[in-house]
């Protein structure tokens, strides 16, 4: 009986001893590399107007363990990816196409992206001469990763359309007074985003008075404005939004008071026009 009791105690002790030892199962998941912020393809990056503005993208790797060796990732400037996006979003409206940044206006720091041993990601750094960009265009640097040593490439997160937004004097917070179909809707806060030195993005009127907990969708809820040299405004659709510039009243910008006077028509889902008058004053 004593012998059986001793063996039972020994067995229990062995069990606790084995449970306390760590077991190394090794890598549990595939090493898959992907570009950060590439889920929605378009990635907006703010740049100053200078001949050597710095930018970068990050390439991460998945897995239950950090890499045990360097992963070298090959990339390319993918003009076809930009062409495909423009065709899908705009079709025949070529005047709205994003522009490919000219080769001579950017340079990469390295010929590939290296995710170093023991690190989860690597960076691709580049320099852009934003001073040479035309003010009435929105430029994109389209980058695709297509090969990785010792890892797979994500099928859905391997291309990014890096949108170069030039910080300008128009971007910032405004108080908007909006009238829709002749009815005043009150005042509310609105944010203008820079797209280039002379182009901005503005939320649609019917999306501007949403609560702070709501979010705007770049694909449907914005339109774009070009500020001409004489401070008149050119209003255009942006991605899937449908607007029409008012043909009777000219929109313009008062540079001394920093006030936008905007007139346009917005289409509802039935194709009917909604008349918009909006005055935005910088805060």
Angle at 200 between CA 59 and CA 46, to 5 degrees: 30
pLDDT for 207 equals 55
Are residues 56 and 16 in contact, defined by beta-carbon separation less than 8 angstroms?
no
pLDDT for 271 equals 78
d(CA 266, CA 217) in angstroms, rounded, equals: 17
Are residues 196 and 166 in contact, defined by beta-carbon separation less than 8 angstroms?
yes
pLDDT tens per residue across all 283 residues of the chain: 544 454 444 444 444 444 444 544 344 468 899 999 998 788 989 898 889 999 999 999 998 889 999 999 999 999 999 999 999 988 988 888 999 999 999 999 999 999 999 999 999 999 999 999 988 888 999 999 999 998 999 999 999 999 998 888 999 999 999 898 888 888 888 888 888 888 998 888 765 444 333 444 545 678 899 999 999 999 988 877 788 899 899 999 999 999 999 999 987 777 788 899 999 999 9
Domains in the chain and their CATH numbers?
Answer: 32-166 (2.60.40.1740), 172-282 (2.40.128.440)
Are residues 279 and 262 in contact, defined by beta-carbon separation less than 8 angstroms?
yes
d(CA 131, CA 139) in angstroms, rounded, equals: 12
Cα–Cα nearest to 85, from 101, 99, 103:
99
Residue 159 makes CB contacts below 8 A (sequence gap 6+) with 35, 38, 41, 78, 81, 142, 143, 144, 145
pLDDT for 217 equals 54
Cα torsion for 107, 110, 115, 118, to the nearest 10°? -130
DSSP state of 63: S
pLDDT for 206 equals 61
d(CA 134, CA 127) in angstroms, rounded, equals: 17
What kind and span of H or E run contains 80?
helix 79-90
Are residues 138 and 196 in contact, defined by beta-carbon separation less than 8 angstroms?
yes
Are residues 203 and 214 in contact, defined by beta-carbon separation less than 8 angstroms?
no
pLDDT for 194 equals 86
d(CA 163, CA 212) in angstroms, rounded, equals: 26
Give the up-direction half-sphere exposure of residue 110: CA atoms within 13 A in the CB hemisphere.
Answer: 14
What token pair was written down for 102?
């000219």
28 to each of 24, 59, 177, 209, how far by Cα in Å?
Answer: 10, 20, 56, 48
Q: Radius of gyration of the chain from Cα atoms?
A: 27
d(CA 25, CA 65) in angstroms, rounded, equals: 10
């Amino acid at each position: 009986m004593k012998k059986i009791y001793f063996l039972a105690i020994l067995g229990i002790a062995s069990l606790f001893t084995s449970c306390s030892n760590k077991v190394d199962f090794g890598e549990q998941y595939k090493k898959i590399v992907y570009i950060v912020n590439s889920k929605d393809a378009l990635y907006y990056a703010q740049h100053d107007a200078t001949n050597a503005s710095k930018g970068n993208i990050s390439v991460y790797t998945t897995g239950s363990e950090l890499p045990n060796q360097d992963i070298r990732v090959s990339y390319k400037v993918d003009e076809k990816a930009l062409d495909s996006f423009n065709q899908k979003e705009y079709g025949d409206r070529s005047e709205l196409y994003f522009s490919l940044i000219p080769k001579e206006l950017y340079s990469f720091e390295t010929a590939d992206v290296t995710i170093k041993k023991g690190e989860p990601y690597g960076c691709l750094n580049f320099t852009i001469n934003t001073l040479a960009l035309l003010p009435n265009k929105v430029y994109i640097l389209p980058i695709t990763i297509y090969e990785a040593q010792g890892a797979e490439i994500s099928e859905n997160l391997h291309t990014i359309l890096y949108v170069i937004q030039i910080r300008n004097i128009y971007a910032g917070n405004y108080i908007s007074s909006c009238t829709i179909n002749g009815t005043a809707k009150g005042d509310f806060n609105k944010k203008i985003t820079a797209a280039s030195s002379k182009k901005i993005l503005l939320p649609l009127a019917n999306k501007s008075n949403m609560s702070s907990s709501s979010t705007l969708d770049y694909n449907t809820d914005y339109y774009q404005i070009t500020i001409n040299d004489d401070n008149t405004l050119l209003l255009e659709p942006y991605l899937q939004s449908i607007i029409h510039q008012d043909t009777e009243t000219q929109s313009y910008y008062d540079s001394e008071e920093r006030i936008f006077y905007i007139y346009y028509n917005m289409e509802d889902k039935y194709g009917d026009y909604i008349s918009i008058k909006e005055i935005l004053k910088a805060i």
